[in-house]
Chains A and B, each alone.
Chain A
């Protein structure tokens, strides 16, 4: 079964760090581009970052310099390292396979992991 499973969320104090994981099954992460998308409580979807199959990464301005995405091909797992966390980073974080040129066949989203930044 093709799926993504996020883990690593939780309650963290402002200024702290957290690493989210996104484990893939049924397909190879490194052959696809994978997005991180977040949704603050009661708010809309916000694209956070992407890692392309070639390894290049891009970030939303709101997280640039604080968040880093990486992957471990041996574990077929993606990571989102989040540093200098702020209250406004509180959100459900989803990993999602990019549609690219394979369109709907590539549609996979995880169930999400909740990050709460609060003292």
Chain B
């Protein structure tokens, strides 16, 4: 089975900072990669699908890139409301594995 490895597992940054989270697949998954944001006690919210397509209604400070095995999620200017845990998920075929998550906090 393909493993999804996210890094870092947590980060602390200042408001306005550029933040990048990476996700690596153990085998190629083309661009079948999604990014979710989950705030405490809430349902995961889709941010990015097909590796780089911004979901409707998501602020443009979020962007995704990558293909094959290496992917990244970037927040261009961190805002207080971005405090959350972020997950990547492969969805090319089962198992539709999630990464371990990255907890983002404000410094």
State which of A46, A50, A107 has its C-beta within 8 Å of the C-beta of B46: A107
State which of B1, B44, B49, B87 has its C-beta within 8 Å of the C-beta of A104: B49
Smallest CB separation, B34 vs chain A (Å)? 6
Smallest CB separation, A105 vs chain B (Å)? 9
Asked if residues A45 and B94 are in contact (CB atoms below 8 Å), the reply is no
Sample (27) of A-B pairs whose CB atoms are under 8 Å apart: A37-B98, A44-B87, A44-B98, A44-B100, A44-B101, A45-B36, A45-B44, A45-B87, A45-B89, A47-B95, A47-B98, A50-B96, A58-B94, A61-B1, A98-B91, A98-B96, A99-B49, A100-B91, A103-B49, A103-B53, A104-B53, A104-B55, A107-B49, A107-B55, A109-B43, A109-B44, A111-B43
State which of A46, A107, A110, A112 has its C-beta within 8 Å of the C-beta of B98: A46
Closest to A94 in B: B43
CA distance A98 to B89 in the complex (A): 11
Asked if residues A45 and B95 are in contact (CB atoms below 8 Å), the reply is no
| Interface size counted on chain A using CB atoms at 8 A | 21
8 additional A-B pairs beyond A45-B101, A110-B43, beta carbons within 8 Å, are: A35-B96, A44-B85, A44-B87, A44-B101, A47-B98, A58-B94, A99-B46, A109-B44
A2 contacts the other chain (CB 8 A): no
CA distance A94 to B42 in the complex (A): 11
Main secondary structure of the interface of A (DSSP, over half): mixed
Chain B interface residues (CB < 8 Å from chain A):
1, 34, 36, 38, 43-44, 46, 49-50, 53, 55-56, 85, 87, 89, 91, 94-98, 100-101
Asked if residues A47 and B55 are in contact (CB atoms below 8 Å), the reply is no
Inter-chain contacts of A61 with B (CB < 8 A): 1
A11 contacts the other chain (CB 8 A): no
Asked if residues B98 and A45 are in contact (CB atoms below 8 Å), the reply is yes
Asked if residues B43 and A112 are in contact (CB atoms below 8 Å), the reply is yes
**Closest 7 A/B residue pairs (Cβ):** A58-B94, A44-B101, A104-B55, A107-B46, A45-B98, A103-B49, A47-B96
